[in-house]
Amino acid sequence: MTAPPKKAFPLRLDPALHAAIERAAAADLRSVNAEVECLLREALARRGVKVAAPEKARRGRPPKTGEGE
């Protein structure tokens, strides 16, 4: 099962805001993109907006398929 593709769009940020997000992302061991997504989900939740949970990415090697099994 594959996750649906994510929506890509350009986002212009104040450099100081971007730097703060970078620091927060590093502290949480996330990418800046993942941190922005997390912050948006938290802000929407505080406003009472329900958003479906993201589909977790499958980790590790894919199962072997083919001959010899």
Residue 27 has pLDDT above 90, yes or no: yes
Residue 29 has pLDDT above 60, yes or no: yes
pLDDT at 23: 98
pLDDT at 57: 73
Q: How confident is the model at residue 19 (pLDDT cuts 50, 70, 90)?
A: very high
pTM: 0.71
What is the domain range of residue 31?
15-46
User: Does residue 32 lie within any of the structural domains?
Assistant: yes
In order of 22, 60, 61, 62, 63, the CA distances from 68 in angstroms are: 46, 21, 18, 16, 13
* Count of structural domains, the chain: 1
Mean pLDDT of 7-26: 96
User: Does residue 29 lie within any of the structural domains?
Assistant: yes
User: Does residue 54 lie within any of the structural domains?
Assistant: no
The residue ranking higher by pLDDT, 65 or 36, is 36
